[in-house]
Amino acid sequence: MTDATTDATTDEAGPSRLIRVEMPALAPASLAPAATVDGVALVTIDRPDALNALSFDLLRELAAAFEALDADPACRAIVLTGSGTRAFAAGADIRELAIQTSASLASGGDFDAWGRIDAVGLPLIAAVRGFALGGGCELAMACDMLIAGDDARFGQPEINLGVIPGAGGTQRLTRAIGSARAMEMILTGRTMTADEAAAAGLVTRVVPAEATVDAALELAARIAAMPPLAVRAAKRAVRAAAELPLTHGLAAERQAFFALFDTDDQREGMSAFIEKRPAAWTGR
Least distance to ligand CO8, CB of residue 116, Å: 13
> Residue 283 interacts with ligand CO8 (CB under 6 A)?
no
Please answer whether residues 268 and 230 qualify as being in contact, where contact means their C-beta atoms are separated by less than 8 angstroms: no
Does residue 90 bind ligand CO8 (CB under 6 A)? yes
Q: 85 or 179: whose CB is closer to ligand CO8?
A: 85
User: Does 82 participate in binding ligand CO8 (rule CB under 6 A)?
Assistant: no
Is 61 an interacting residue with respect to ligand CO8 (CB under 6 A)? Answer: no
Catalytic residue, candidates 22, 61, 138, 253: 138
Is 138 a catalytic site residue?
yes
Q: Which of 39/134 has CB closer to ligand CO8?
A: 134
Residue 94 in contact with ligand CO8, rule: CB under 6 A: yes
Q: Which is nearer to ligand CO8, 163 or 259 (CB)?
A: 163
Active site residues: 92, 135, 138, 158
Interface positions with ligand CO8 (CB under 6 A)? 50-51, 53-54, 59, 90-95, 131, 133-135, 157-158, 161, 166-167
